[in-house]
Chain A
Amino acid sequence: MKKLTTLALLILALTVAALAGSRYIERAQGTSGSDVFHLYNWGDYIDSDLIEQFEEETGYRVVYETFDSNEAMYTKIQQGGTGYDMAIPSEYMIERMIEEDLVVELDHSRIEGLENIDPDFLDLNFDPLNRYSIPYFWGTLGIAYNEDMLEGFEPESWEDLYRPELENSILMIDGAREVIGIGLQTLGYSLNSRNEAELQEATEQLRGLSPNIKALVADEIKMYMIQEEASIAVTYSGEAADMMWENESIVYILPEEGSNLWFDNMVIPHTVQNEEAAYAFVNFMLDPEVAAQNADYIGYSTPNEKAMAFLPEETIEDEQFYPSEEMMDNLEVYEDLGLEYTGIYNDLFLEFKMMK
């Protein structure tokens, strides 16, 4: 009995010590308090040197938390209990968040440098007049392939992915809209189709693609492509840029049928606690030099027109990353489908995953 009491007391003492320790560390690092800025962003989606620079210039301490899907981010912000000052979701999610009052309307008098942004990326359908969001990055979905491993075959379209010789060699992005979208676009339908017959047809169409799929994964695609675990991947432009940086045999193309064009914008969620810091961050990121450094590091395309001057020529002339007007016309932006159709897309996606 005495032993038990001693043990219980020991555990209690250790718990208290751990708690006090973590409090102390938190305070020492300044992860709580009024000069803290909580940034909720995708993983590895900002140059960490820029975070340091921001901290030095403004005196705020940045707490960087990450999410791996728009939906996961949405759930966390909607459920509350979080204190994020800024989030960087994609366009269709911003549309939904505006509708549900989850984002704070921006005070444009406190924003400097919006004129640096290419007008093509302002005043878009998902957020007219940019009342809620400021462009951060944009990009496309496309095909990354390893020239050496494919031995002369160069895919140019979604259609090419169905070829029998590609059996078990494609790494596919694990997203319902992306995958069903490939089926839709191969058939010439819209990425935002809300027509059940079209969706069924697209899923049937994808049955032919299924044997060629090696795996449906997300962030890991980058690593596997660099290590040459697979020869082809369907992935986002920025991921592809990273791969090409590490492995020179990799090429990124936009498929002929067209593809998805997406925008990630900065928003202030309703959970904001430090509005001051949020505006400081927006203004910091709008700075052309900062935007250029970030784009150079991350590999996605910057909407900041003035930043182009600071980017290497080969980057901005690369048509796969900064496509021509004509190619842009072929790209389609996701719209928020609403809960019912999001469910339908995802059930079809599950069906696709179970084929083979």
Chain B
Amino acid sequence: MVKQRKLLSIPYYLWILLFVVFPVLLLLFQSFRGLDGGFTLTNIQTYFTSRVYLTMTMQSFLYAFLITVLTLAISYPAAYFLTRTDNKQLWLLVLIMPTWMNILLKTYAFIGILSQTGVANQMLEFMGIGAQPLLFTRISFLIVATYIEIPFMLLPVFNAIDEIDDSMVYASRDLGANEWKTFLTVIFPMSLSGVRSGIQAVFIPSLSLFMLTRLIAGNRVITLGTAIEQHFLVTQNWGMGSTMGIVLIIIMFGVMFLTRKRKKGVPVK
């Protein structure tokens, strides 16, 4: 039995080796290669001494942070009220449905909505505010990115809240807690695992949204993804591109670490 299990696990180990370990090692190896192909530390040195790259990293971080906060602010209440509705699976499906559509299609739809003569501006004009330049602004970028990321936050948060045993809530009520207090001391702490996975699922991809930065923000918002794409496709400086990839991976580990599951057990007073 044990032998059979070992045998069955071989494909998975192979998979991890080929598609996880090997590419990361390759990236690491490339990041130590200079333009001439020789071993060098200049890429890392350039990265940490370049005002441009460091500002760009800070900007990526800032935008990813804002996008995550916005998605959480919208998704958490939505998920909470969803668990309280009668047909929650149906409503969840409705909210998740946009992920069935290709992301590029959604982006192009937003271009239509946000353009000078688009629906958004028609509404503004109708309300008497008048048409505004909406496309190619930071606000639009945040709105569209948030919209695209919402399902990835909503789903884990919903599952976490939904899993909470109703008897916990009843117990809290029986012990005299009002609705708000119940939420704060029972529901919210118990849903944190969902929030954590939501943050990981949203923050990390948001660091390198290079397609949205170009199509919606007109390259007026620059993230690390833009620079990585440029190094691989334009400057042929794969070493520098890989170095940035490694930096992204390190940031991701940082996020995972900060949002890791802490040891269970509520301190007893």
- Residues of A whose CB lies within 8 Å of any CB of B are 69, 71-72, 74-75, 168, 171, 174, 176, 213-217, 220, 224, 227-229, 339-340, 342-343, 346-347, 350-351, 353-354, 356
Contacts and interface: CB of A to CB of B under 8 A. Distances in A.
Nearest to A223: B111
A354 B235 contact: no
Contact of B233 (A69, A215, A216, A224): A69
Interface string B104-137: 0000000000011100000000000000010110
Contact of B219 (A75, A216, A343): A216
Contacts of A342: 234-236
Scoring A71, A217, A342, A350 by chain B CB atoms within 10 A of each residue's CB, the highest score goes to: A350
B59 A354 contact: yes
B220 A215 contact: yes
B236 A75 contact: yes
B50 interface: yes
A227 B116 contact: yes
Contacts of A213: 220
B37 to A, nearest CB: 11
Closest 10 CB pairs of A and B: A215-B218, A216-B219, A215-B136, A71-B234, A343-B235, A351-B52, A346-B235, A229-B116, A339-B35, A353-B222
B35 A350 contact: no
Given A228-B116, A347-B52, A217 B234 contact: no
B50 to A, nearest CB: 7
Contacts of A229: 115-116, 135
A72 B227 CA distance: 15
Contacts of A339: 35, 235-237
A99 B237 CA distance: 18
Interface of B: 35, 50, 52, 55-56, 59, 115-117, 133, 135-136, 214-215, 217-220, 222, 226-227, 230-237, 240
A340 B133 CA distance: 38
Given A342-B236, A350-B227, A215 B133 contact: no
Summarize A's interface: helix, strand, loop or mixed: helix
Given A168-B133, A214-B136, A229-B116, A353 B219 contact: yes
A343 B50 contact: no
A176 B74 CA distance: 38
Nearest to A78: B236
Summarize B's interface: helix, strand, loop or mixed: loop
B232 to A, nearest CB: 7
Nearest to B218: A215
Contacts of A74: 236
A215 B116 contact: no
B165 to A, nearest CB: 29
Nearest to B50: A347
Nearest to B117: A227
Contact of A217 (B133, B214, B227, B236): B214
Scoring A213, A224, A339, A343 by chain B CB atoms within 10 A of each residue's CB, the highest score goes to: A343
B186 to A, nearest CB: 37
B42 to A, nearest CB: 11
B218 A75 contact: no
B218 A217 contact: yes
A340 B34 CA distance: 11
A69 B236 CA distance: 13
B219 A215 contact: yes
A217 B52 CA distance: 20
Contact of B237 (A224, A343, A356): A343
Scoring B222, B226, B235, B237 by chain A CB atoms within 10 A of each residue's CB, the highest score goes to: B235
Given A339-B237, A342-B234, A350 B218 contact: no
A176 B234 CA distance: 9
A354 B117 contact: no
Contacts of B59: 354
Contacts of B222: 350, 353-354
B79 to A, nearest CB: 30
Contacts of B226: 350, 353
22 contacts: A69-B234, A71-B233, A71-B236, A168-B133, A171-B218, A214-B133, A215-B135, A215-B136, A215-B217, A216-B218, A220-B215, A228-B117, A229-B135, A339-B235, A342-B235, A346-B231, A346-B234, A346-B235, A350-B227, A353-B219, A353-B226, A354-B55
Contacts of B232: 75
A229 B218 CA distance: 13
A69 B136 CA distance: 22
B40 to A, nearest CB: 14
B35 A343 contact: yes
B220 A356 contact: yes
